[in-house]
Amino acid sequence: MVSRIITGQPVLIIGAGRGGSALLEMFMEDELASVVAIVDTNPAAPGFELARKYGIPTYTDTVSALQACKEYSDCIIYNLSHDESVADEAYKVFGDHRVTGGAEVKLFWQMVTNLQTIKDELEKSQDELQAIIHNVMDGIITIDESGLIQGFNPAAERIFGYAPQEVIGQNVKVLMPEPDRSAHDGYLHRYVHSNEKRVLGVRGREVTAVRKDGGTFPMELSASEMFLGGQRYFIGIVRDITERKETEDRIAHLAHFDYLTNLPNRASFLNILDHSVGLAKRNKQMLAVLFIDLDGFKQINDTLGHEAGDLLLKGVSARFKQSIRDSDTLARLGGDEFIMLLENVDSAENAGRLAGKVVQSLAEPFDLNGQSGKVGASVGIALFPDDAMEPRELVRQADEAMYAAKHGGKNIWKFYRDK
């Protein structure tokens, strides 16, 4: 055998079956040992294929293998075969008892097998963990205690738009907007030296983050720390909550606005009225509440259908909005009922003139998907502080005045005091 340069303890393995193969694989992964040869009477033994892969000499004759390994004076021999004469042959070659065999090698083989099983299980667990990290929907970002990014999983790539090589080694504050970006290093330094927490341990904290293209978005962050190999790391689990926030905003909007016309609904109007009455009391100003009911809407709905009715309501709300000032409020109470709040009106006459504009705004027919539709409006007016001092009483009075207008001929307006 040609002498090879070895760096570890020389080892000769006798027996290239399952045990020898496992022993060879273990030694090849450890720099403390160097396998100089492996021998087995079966040329098809599984250990031979592995040995050839690593360039390890193979023998089918034990004596030849022992003679070839004689140059390694400190070679250790592991006998995993059932040939008890190996010890005698080794003694003839090396002059000492250096063969490990029998019960000792059986125990050693069992230990090697157990270690291999543990190794396989660890590798399987690591593979499973990496698969989870790479396929989880949430972004996982690992940073060291200096704030430098050490890990960036595929979900984080999708969320932020960065490839791993673009952010690994960069400070995590690149993912933050101001003022968080400027404050981050100081926060991290304070925590490392004083354990002063602001984000760590808080689950689902809502923050704002920055994508590669500079766009900001709402993000949910759960941060924790771990120690590995004596080093401190911080793990951030992040989730883009843009869709959730948009849904929450839509739900909140629907709670205060009419779904069809996008006008404030009854509850929202009453809140606005409460606030406006309070200001008017302090500033000694006049307000007017106009309660409006459409004339002829039911006929449109019954003859042309609900789709035409919805188009009509949208058209009516658009014309009404054009009839009032930006400081005034128009709301839809439901069905074909609308209500207006006129802020700081100078006089009852001004409120009446605006009510006339509201009625006049409906003079022209509406185009309802190629069909013509026409409605009128009956309007009731209640004044603060002349008619009532409380918001809901003003609404009730305006409603009564509207019914008086409807019974008085429709398509007209009336004050509560004249009903």
* 3-class DSSP string for 147-189: CEEEEECHHHHHHHCCCHHHHCCCEHHHHCCCCHHHHHHHHHH
Distance CA 135, CA 154 (A): 7
pLDDT of 160 reads: 95
CB 369 within 8 Å of CB 315? no
CB 306 within 8 A of CB 399: no
Q: How far apart are CA 209 and CA 250, in angstroms?
A: 22
pLDDT for position 128: 67
How buried is residue 338: exposed, middle or buried, by Cβ count under 10 Å (0-12/13-18/19+)?
buried
Residue among 375, 304, 285 nearest 338 (CA): 375
What pLDDT sits at residue 219? Answer: 94
* HSE of 43, CA atoms in CB hemisphere, 13 A: 0
User: Residue 321, Cβ neighbours under 10 Å: how many?
Assistant: 15
User: Burial of 306 by CB count in 10 Å (0-12 exposed, 13-18 middle, 19+ buried)?
Assistant: exposed
- Residue 397, pLDDT score: 97
pLDDT score, position 279: 94
The secondary structure of 271-337 as a DSSP string is HHHHHHHHHHHHHT--EEEEEEEEESHHHHHHHH-HHHHHHHHHHHHHHHHHHS-TTSEEEEEETTE
Kindly provide the b/e burial profile for residues 88-121, where b requires at least 16 CB atoms within 10 angstroms of the residue's own CB.
ebbeebbeeeebbbeeebeebbeebeeebeeeee
Contact 177/209 with Cβ under 8 angstroms? Answer: yes
User: What's the pLDDT score for residue 375?
Assistant: 94
User: Do residues 155 and 220 make contact, with C-beta atoms less than 8 angstroms apart?
Assistant: no
- Residue 161 has what pLDDT? 95
Residue 2, number of CB atoms within 10 A of its CB: 6
Quote the CA–CA distance of 259 and 268 in Å, as a whole number: 13
pLDDT for the residue numbered 103: 59
| Ordered per-residue pLDDT tens for the chain, 419 residues | 445 566 778 888 888 888 888 888 878 877 777 888 899 989 999 899 999 988 899 999 888 888 888 778 788 888 877 777 777 777 777 766 566 655 566 666 666 667 667 777 777 766 666 666 666 778 889 999 889 999 898 889 999 999 999 999 999 999 999 988 888 777 787 777 776 555 565 677 899 999 999 999 999 998 888 888 788 889 888 999 999 999 989 888 888 999 999 999 999 999 999 999 999 999 999 999 999 999 999 999 889 999 999 999 999 999 999 999 889 999 999 999 999 999 999 899 999 999 999 999 999 999 998 899 999 999 999 999 999 999 999 999 999 999 999 998 888 999 999 86
Q: With residue 39 as reference, give the H or E element that holds it.
A: strand 33-39
DSSP at 115: H
- Contact criterion met (CB below 8 Å) for 61 and 38: no
Q: Which domains does the chain have, with CATH numbers?
A: 9-116 (3.40.50.720), 136-244 (3.30.450.20), 257-418 (3.30.70.270)
User: What local confidence, expressed as pLDDT, does residue 217 receive?
Assistant: 96
Q: Is 359 helix (H, G, I), strand (E, B) or coil?
A: helix
Per-residue pLDDT at 163: 94
